[in-house]
Structure 1
C-alpha cells in the first residue's frame, strides 16, 4: 500500500524537474534566437570569455592540458568553418552534382560552409565555457612542460592551415564573402541620344 502512495509523489517531483528543465531549454533557445543577428556582439562576448579564460590560466599557472585540448578543438572548428559543405575533392569531373564555379563566366554561387558561422560561434563559446569550468577541478591540472605543448600546437596549426590553403588554391574558392555580388550599370553621361 505504501508503494502506491509514494508513486504519485515521485512522479510529481519528476514533473517539476522536467518542467524546470524544459523552461530552461526554452529560455536558452529564446536568447540564442535573439542573438543570431548580432554577429559583432556575439564574437565580442566570445573574445572576452576567451581572454578571461587565458587570464585565469595565466594567474593560476596550470591547466595547460585543458588549454591545449581547447586549442585543438577550436582549430578543428575553424577548419570546418573554412571548408565547403560539399568538398570539391570528393566530386568527380563527370559528376553532375553541385560544384564551385571555376571560371569567370560561370554562375555565382555563394560559399556554403561545412560549419555555419552561428554554429561555429556557439560551439567555440561552449568549449571556452567548459574549459573555464574545468579550471575549477584540481584533478584536471595535470603537470606538463607547457612549452612543448605550445610547440606542438604551432606545428599542428601550421601544417593544417598550409594544407587548407593549398586546398583553397587548388579548387579556387574563397571562404569569405560579404553578401551578394554588386554590379555597376552603365554610367549616365547626361547626354541625350536621339535617333
Structure 2
C-alpha cells in the first residue's frame, strides 16, 4: 500500500478570486485580439469616448488640469505614431554597422515605414487614457482650480512647436508616415509585370 506523502497539500488550488481575475484577464485579451482588424470601429469608439469626455468637461465646468494632461498625453502618443522606429537623426551618429537609414535616393532599396508606436498601441493607449480621464472627472479631488485660457494657449503653442519640429524632421529625412496617396502595386495574373493600381 502506498503512503500519502502530502504533495497534494503542498500543491494548493488557486482560490476563487485569483481564478476569476485570470479568467477576466483572458477574456479582456481575447476581446482586444478580436478587435484588432476593425480599425475604423475601434477609432469610432475612441472618438465617442473623447466626445463623452468633452461633454462631461463642458457640462461640469471643471477638471481643466485633467483635460490638459489628457491633451498632452494624446499629443505625445501622436508624435510617437508619426516618428519612425529607427530615428534617422540618431543613426547619423552611429558607425556604418548601425541600423539602416530610410531611403533618400531614387535608386536605394525600398524599406517600409515602421512606426515607433504602432496604430493598435496608439489606439489602445489613447482609449485607456481617455477612459481614465473620464473617470477622474467624477472625483472632486482632481478638480484643481486653474485659469483654463492659459492652459489652452500653452497647449496650442506646444502643439505648433512640436508639429513644426516633426514636419521639419519628415522633410529633412524624406519620409511620409501615412499610406494615403501612395501607389499600391497589384500582381496581374498572366503577366509577369507588376502594375500600379
Tell me if 1:45 matches 2:37: no
Residue 149 of structure 1 is aligned with which of 127, 148, 151?
Answer: 151
Distance 1:95 1:50 in 2: 45
Asked if the contact 2:186–2:194 (Cα under 8 Å) also holds between the matched residues in 1, the reply is no
Asked if the contact 2:81–2:118 (Cα under 8 Å) also holds between the matched residues in 1, the reply is yes
Asked if the contact 1:110–1:177 (Cα under 8 Å) also holds between the matched residues in 2, the reply is no
Larger helix proportion of the pair = 1
Q: 1:181 offset after TM fit, Å? A: 4.0
Relative distance call for 1:117 and 1:186 in structure 2 (3 A) is closer
Distance 2:194 2:49 in 1: 49
Distance 1:165 1:95 in 2: 27
Query: SS at the partner of 1:160?
Result: helix
Deviates more, 1:20-29 or 1:87-96: 87-96
In structure 1, the partner of 2:139 is 137
Q: TM-score, normalised by structure 2?
A: 0.84
Tell me if 1:172 matches 2:140: no
Q: How many residues align?
A: 177
Distance 2:28 2:107 in 1: 45
Q: TM-score, normalised by structure 1?
A: 0.84
Deviations along 1:29-61, whole A, 9 cap, x unmatched?
A: 000001000000000000011000000000000
Asked if the contact 2:84–2:115 (Cα under 8 Å) also holds between the matched residues in 1, the reply is yes
Higher relative contact order (CA 8 A, sep 6+): 1
Distance 1:95 1:180 in 2: 31
Query: SS at the partner of 2:171?
Result: helix
The gaps in structure 1 that reach 5 residues or longer are 1-7, 188-195
Query: SS at the partner of 1:150?
Result: helix
Q: What does 1:13-162 correspond to in 2, within 5 Å?
A: 15-92=15-92, 94-96=95-97, 97-162=99-164
Deviations along 1:67-100, whole A, 9 cap, x unmatched?
A: 0000000000000000000000011375242110
Asked if the contact 1:111–1:177 (Cα under 8 Å) also holds between the matched residues in 2, the reply is no
Asked if the contact 2:185–2:194 (Cα under 8 Å) also holds between the matched residues in 1, the reply is no
Asked if the contact 2:85–2:115 (Cα under 8 Å) also holds between the matched residues in 1, the reply is yes
In structure 1, the partner of 2:185 is 182
Deviations along 1:110-164, whole A, 9 cap, x unmatched?
A: 1000000000000000000000000010010011111000000000000000000
The gaps in structure 2 that reach 5 residues or longer are 1-8, 188-192
